[in-house]
A and B are shown apart, each in its own frame.
Chain A
């Protein structure tokens, strides 16, 4: 498994030597970031809603949900509405935190690159 959990908190990470080191491979992927964004807003969404909003195929969405579930960022539950089977994804507290940290890391990365590029131009 990749991601924040596999990277120990070294002094370099703690001091934030480079914001790119804080990016979480599990979360940073475009589709998984989209899934977490939907769930952070709605808390809970079913498979068909996620597929429609993110414009994904069943297989693609299922694979990314499995990865997020494996990382403990979401939980998956299955149920029925009438005779129609539904698969629901719910974001965990860890998932919310991971999305928040990822957005902060991206912001820090952009600021860092802006300063490096402007220094390079000077």
Chain B
């Protein structure tokens, strides 16, 4: 026959351990800046790459005129910075390791060097989505994975003008394509800020 007092003690013990595990995991994510850092860096790279196109009517939006190609380079650079920052954090604070970020950078460089055509066809969000998905997989971070699929998917869809071609024609049409990328970049920065606030709240 079960002793209710003993059973309650077992239950309290299990509940306490589960709470301890949750608190520790939260602290490690905070120490790693696991969610905010990738979102802020990638979002900023996208904004910096797309903003000049949106504000300047005269800029050529083709391959050599900045824009998609330029954003692709910046997103790749963001992965390299991310890799360096996590590596530095691993050596300085003793937590985490750079595995996965190096691979994301290499993937970006390969896609950039042999896949310029791919980049032009699909846009910079193929790098954004694939790289972020790799980071999410390395960190087992569901939030980053969702963002990679959502923002990356929308960005790649727009890479084929999937969104632009569904909008009614307007005088803004020339800016619609980079403006959609810019909006995704701004949303990514905002998501990164929200994640940073959440990470800081636990301090």
* Residues of A that sit less than 8 Å from B by CB: 20, 28, 30, 33-34, 37-38, 40-49, 53-54, 81, 86, 88, 99, 103, 106-107, 109-110, 113-114, 116-117, 120
Given A53-B28, A103-B18, verify A44-B10 contact (CB < 8 Å): no
Chain A interface mostly: helix
Q: Does B117 contact A (CB under 8 A)?
A: no
**Chain B's nearest CB lies how many Å from the CB of A16?**
16
In the assembled complex, the Cα of A122 lies from the Cα of B101 at a distance in Å of 56
The 6 listed contacts between A and B (C-beta, < 8 Å) are: A42-B31, A42-B32, A42-B97, A44-B90, A45-B28, A106-B14
**Chain B's nearest CB lies how many Å from the CB of A113?**
4
In the assembled complex, the Cα of A110 lies from the Cα of B19 at a distance in Å of 13
Choose one: B21, B28, B32, B97; the contact of A33 (CB below 8 Å).
B21
Given A109-B14, A117-B7, verify A86-B94 contact (CB < 8 Å): yes
Choose one: B8, B17, B93, B97; the contact of A30 (CB below 8 Å).
B17
Mask for B47-67, Cβ within 8 A of A = 1, else 0?
000000000000000000000
Q: Most chain-B Cβ atoms within 10 A of its Cβ — which of A38, A42, A43, A54?
A: A42
In the assembled complex, the Cα of A8 lies from the Cα of B29 at a distance in Å of 36
Tell me whether A81 and B91 are in contact (CB under 8 A).
Answer: yes
Choose one: B11, B24, B93, B96; the contact of A37 (CB below 8 Å).
B24
Chain A's closest residue to B1 (CB) is: A120
Tell me whether A34 and B7 are in contact (CB under 8 A).
Answer: no
Given A33-B21, A40-B25, verify A45-B95 contact (CB < 8 Å): yes
Chain B interface mostly: helix
In the assembled complex, the Cα of A13 lies from the Cα of B17 at a distance in Å of 23
In the assembled complex, the Cα of A113 lies from the Cα of B96 at a distance in Å of 37
Contacts of A116 in B (CB 8 A): 2, 4, 7
* Residues of B that sit less than 8 Å from A by CB: 2, 4, 7-8, 10-11, 14-15, 17-18, 20-21, 24-25, 27-29, 31-32, 34, 90-91, 93-97, 99, 138, 140
Tell me whether B96 and A20 are in contact (CB under 8 A).
Answer: no
**Chain A's nearest CB lies how many Å from the CB of B4?**
5
**Chain A's nearest CB lies how many Å from the CB of B86?**
10
Known pairs A41-B28, A43-B99, A117-B8. 11 more at Cβ < 8 A? A33-B17, A38-B25, A40-B25, A41-B25, A41-B34, A42-B97, A44-B90, A45-B96, A81-B91, A113-B7, A120-B2
